Amino acid sequence: MILRRAGLVLTGLLLAAGGAASGQRTNADDVSAAVFRRYADLTAKIQVVEGGSGAKASLGSAFLVSADGYLLTNYHVVAEAVDDDRYRIEWIDTGGRSAPGRILAVDVVRDLAVVATDRPTTRHFPIGRPTIAQGTRLYSLGHPEDLGLSIVEGVFNGQLEHTLYPKIHYTGPLNSGMSGGPALTAGGTVVGVNVATAGNSLSFLVPIEAALPLIDRARRADSAGTPDFNADIGRQILANQETYLATLFQGSDSSIVIGPFRLPTQPAPFFRCWADADRDPDALFESVDHQCSTDDYIYLSGSQSSGIVSMSHRVLSSRGLSPLRFYALYSTNFRAGSAAFDLEVGSDVTDYQCRDGNVRRGRMVIRTRFCLRRYTNYDGLYDADLKAAVLGARDAGVVTRLTLSGVSFENAERLARKYLEQIQWARP
């Protein structure tokens, strides 16, 4: 929900019109107008400016959360200015006055950041741990499409149940530029921070309680000096992946039988799985595809994301191909495609380094290709890509793949071994 030179990232816009009886509509308008009137001055516009040209690199929203004059926003709004002297932060109040800002603390996992305005205030939003009922009316403030401060009316629909990172389901239309703005009740209680949309009034908020430890860290940083953000971000990602990767592929995960193979599927509730098949009756072989991946990711920059786990299987079955022709088909499928995430190349990562080998497990022999590339800005983090194929069957085979982003070397190797252990013959 920020604006960028190269396009739009994330999303919001003005109040939806019509649908209710005129008396009801007037009452709702009165509440929205009152919320805007009371709290507009606590909401700001944040922009990242390229120092050489003075051009805006990104734009979003923020809101005051302390008497120190701290602004809370999304990390992805200010990410380009983190540890990059080419960019600077500006914040603009409701009167159109701009002033420099300083990034004090970031939480990349929850997509939050605190910016210092160096302007103490007697008015700010109190931040706590609100408890509200599903269906409560919320009002979101922000700067959609850089059109000026606007208000969006929506509904609180609780926290998402199956997500890696806590998110609030907000039924309201958010647009680019509203990222980092507050979503609050009519009484002024901030419930969440605008963060993303899936369109059709399906939007998401970061729960406001996630900001409490970050604001405390910002206060410490304000007195101790600006931290090394790259080192801090690397530590955050490493600590986070230790938590969510710890239980994957431990032997009790779900599995699916496709042809003669038993294969892993949906290792945690925050994975989504889907499947497809090509069973052309005139073809000499058929294929079944099964894929699972996390819905969530960690935004690092416009060219790099982390925290993604995905796996895929393609099972091929012969319907009359000779063993030689089936082997040629199978080999082509194994070789097809380069290492995962290859579209995200650049100075953020090194080239992939790969090793090939065979793994024997009982009656099963698995051909493997394991590739790693290192993050250049964050020590100890890697992207990993494991590709494997079961050998030995004359008329069936599976090409399977596990991809991980932003993991330690130790976790990459451990999860690759655990993943291969989940691949079994369906029948003894």
Backbone φ, ψ for residue 352 (5° rounding) = -70, 140
Do 256 and 335 have their domain in common? yes
Do 241 and 223 have their domain in common? no
Structure tokens, 140: 């979101």
Give the global pTM. Answer: 0.87
Closest CA to 167 of 214, 105, 210: 210
The pLDDT tens digits for 216-275 are 999 999 888 777 899 999 999 999 998 889 888 876 668 999 999 999 999 988 899 999
Do 292 and 366 have their domain in common? yes
Looking at 173, 192, 227, the residue that finishes a domain is 227
Do 219 and 333 have their domain in common? no
Do 257 and 327 have their domain in common? yes
Looking at 205, 227, 249, the residue that finishes a domain is 227
Residue pair 246/236 in contact (Cβ under 8 Å)? The answer is no
Do 197 and 249 have their domain in common? no
Residue pair 257/290 in contact (Cβ under 8 Å)? The answer is no
Tell me the pLDDT of the chain (428 aa) as tens digits. 555 543 333 433 333 333 444 445 557 679 999 999 999 999 999 999 998 888 888 999 999 999 999 999 999 999 999 978 899 999 999 999 999 999 999 999 999 999 999 999 999 999 999 999 999 999 999 999 999 999 999 999 999 988 888 999 999 999 999 999 999 999 999 999 999 998 889 999 999 999 999 999 999 998 887 778 999 999 999 999 988 898 888 766 689 999 999 999 999 888 999 999 999 998 999 999 999 999 888 999 888 889 999 999 999 999 999 999 999 999 999 988 766 655 455 689 999 999 999 999 888 999 999 999 999 999 999 999 999 999 988 899 999 999 999 999 999 999 999 999 999 999 76
Whole-number Å distance between alpha carbons of 154 and 263:
42
Asked if residue 232 is part of any domain, the answer here is no
Beta-strand relationship, 56-64 and 70-73? antiparallel
Owning domain of residue 265: 237-425
The pLDDT tens digits for 87-136 are 999 999 999 999 999 999 999 999 999 999 999 999 999 999 999 999 99
Do 277 and 169 have their domain in common? no
Do 159 and 262 have their domain in common? no
Give how many domains the chain has, as a whole number. Answer: 2
Structure tokens, 3: 């604006």
CB atoms within 10 A of CB 36: 16
Q: Which residues pair with 374 in a beta bridge?
A: 382
Closest CA to 166 of 225, 200, 135, 208: 208
Query: Which letter does DSSP use for residue 375 in this model?
Result: B
CB atoms within 10 A of CB 425: 14
